[in-house]
Each structure stands twice: as C-alpha cells, then as structure tokens.
Amino acid sequence: MTSHAWSSHNSAGMKNLVLSLFPGADLLGRGFDSAGFVVVRGPDTLLGQDVRAWSVTQVCHAFEGIIGGPPCQDFSRARRRPPTGHGRAMLEEFRRLVTEADPDWWLLENVPGVPDVHIPGYVTQRFNLFASEFGLRQKRNRSFQFGSRDGCKLVLLRGTQSQSLKPAALASTSGHRTFADFCELQGLPRSFTLQGLSRRAKYRAVGNGVPVPMSAAIAKAIAARSHITADIRLCACDCGRPVTGRQVSATAACRKRLERRRSHGGGRVTIGESRTARPAPTISPARPPQLLGTPHRTAQTIV
C-alpha cells in the first residue's frame, strides 16, 4: 500500500500527526483536522480494504496519536441477531495497530456497550458524550476510551443541551430526512457528499460517524493536556468534568455510575491488560467547541 497526500503538508516527523483507523467518511478525523492535527487515513471496507492485511510498519511516519471507531454492531443494543465476533476481532486489530505504532495516546469510539479496551503501557479514561452537548439537535450517546502514556486525563467541556431535539442520525435509518438534513445533524456542511456511493451507503457512512463538533472538542482537549494547573480537579467517574470544593462527582449521573462500579466491581467485559492509573493530573480546559463545516483539507489516505 502507498500513501497519497491530500495536501502539501510534509507530515513526516510531525508531532501532531494522527492515524485514523476504520475511518469510513471520517467524521472523527475531520474534527481533529479542524483542531490543527494532521490526519492520515488508514484502510477501510468502504474502499474495499481490509485492516487485517495492513501494518503500521508500511508507513514511514511516527504518529503522535491513533483514533478510530471499530464496527459497533456486535455491542449495540439495537442488534437483533447474536454477536458475530467481528466486533471483538476489530477491537483486537485496533490494539494490534496501536501496539505497532507506539503513539503517545490513542482514542477509541464506539457504542456504550463496547468492552473496556486496555493496552499495556497506557492509562485509560472512559467517558460518554451526547451530540446535543455540542450544539447539535440530536441526543445520540457515544462512548470513548482515551489511553495515554503519561496518564494525563482530558478535561471535557460540555455545552447546554438543546431543548428542541430531532431523532438521532443513525446508520440504520435515514428517518425520512434529506441527506443534507442528515449531514447537518452530524455537524457536516449541508453540501457534503460522498461520490460513488449509493444513497443507502451514504446515509450509513455518515450515520456511523462521530458528530464533527464532538470530535473537535475531544481533539482540543487532547491538545490542551500539556497545560497543567494546580486548581482543577476532575470527576471521579472519568467523565472529564471539573469538580470544585469537596465534590467527588460532577452530576447525579456521575454518582450513579460510581455506585454501579462499586456494587458490580466494574461489571464490564475487558479486552487486554490494564495498568493502574495514577491520580489524574489537572489540565486547563479546552476552548468551547463550535459548529464546524470546513473541508477535510489536511487529511491523507493510505490505500
């Protein structure tokens, strides 16, 4: 496989170089692009490629981070058939490629029912975000796992949820909406298109993606990790919300999450080995996210 640049950037050796795995339409990568990262796309079934036949060693780059959203169908509450095992296999592929690349950090996105993923040498922070917390008119819940070598956790600033919400933009259904309306719910420009795909494939590709303002907020939080302060503490549930005074948890939902962990001993399937996390360093907040509509100008594709 060879790497085809989509821009004039010389990305070799760049500290902000990020590899996007399982990219699809790469809404996740678009958010990182808008935050100043240079995004390289890995192989994807959308282009007839198989990640299992690919190795990071085929690319002469040193990646700062790896992002990706492996297939979620096996872990979704909406599935109507027994799990196929494909989802777990793709999580293992994500682990394999992170281990090969040895980046400073990694970010995995999936549905809330996905197992915990641990990779030796990384401290993991798990949190959920809703699209409506980032200026979008849908309340879709996305689960993220962030692994870092230095153990620094993310400060995640959420906005006020919109009171006027529409049905979520799902890969399984268009909801009788135009493609322009569907893209807008995901934070894409209404003019966005995917050449060469059928109507159904376009909806599926966009619906599978992470809302762009959400991914941009995470990217900014990652970029802000180096700004250490002495007065910011984070919620004990790992949601990334700051707490003050004698607070341990930020919200009622955070308290319930901590109670479930205590009563069930975690209660979640884990893939890989974990490393004991040290107390989370304090990080200055990222800038509030804004609705994005910029083209994916700095991305590269590995084909």
Is the residue at 206 inside a domain? no
Is the residue at 8 inside a domain? yes
CA distances from 286 to 147, 154, 177, 226, 277 (A): 18, 9, 33, 11, 22
Q: Which domain range does residue 225 map to? A: 3-162+211-302
pLDDT tens-place string over residues 94-130: 999 999 999 999 999 999 999 999 999 999 999 999 9
Q: Residue holding tokens 């994500």?
A: 94
For the chain, what is the domain count? Answer: 1
- The CATH number given to whatever domain includes residue 220 is 3.40.50.150
Is the residue at 193 inside a domain? no
Is the residue at 167 inside a domain? no
How many other CB atoms are there within 10 angstroms of residue 170's CB atom? 17
- pLDDT value at residue 162: 67
Is the residue at 115 inside a domain? yes
Sign of CA dihedral 255, 140, 68, 213: negative
pLDDT tens-place string over residues 48-91: 899 999 999 888 678 999 999 999 888 887 777 888 899 899 99
CA distances from 7 to 31, 213, 273 (A): 17, 22, 38
Residues 6+ apart with CB under 8 A from 270: 115, 116, 117, 118
147: Cα separation from own chain's centroid: 11
Is the residue at 187 inside a domain? no
**Interior angle at CA 108, CA 120 and CA 287, nearest 5:** 115
pTM, rounded to two decimals: 0.84
Q: Which pLDDT band holds residue 13 (cuts at 50, 70, 90)? A: very low
Whether 254 shows a pLDDT value over 80: the answer reads yes
Length of the chain: 303
Average pLDDT over residues 155-166: 83
Please give the mean pLDDT across all residues of the chain.
83
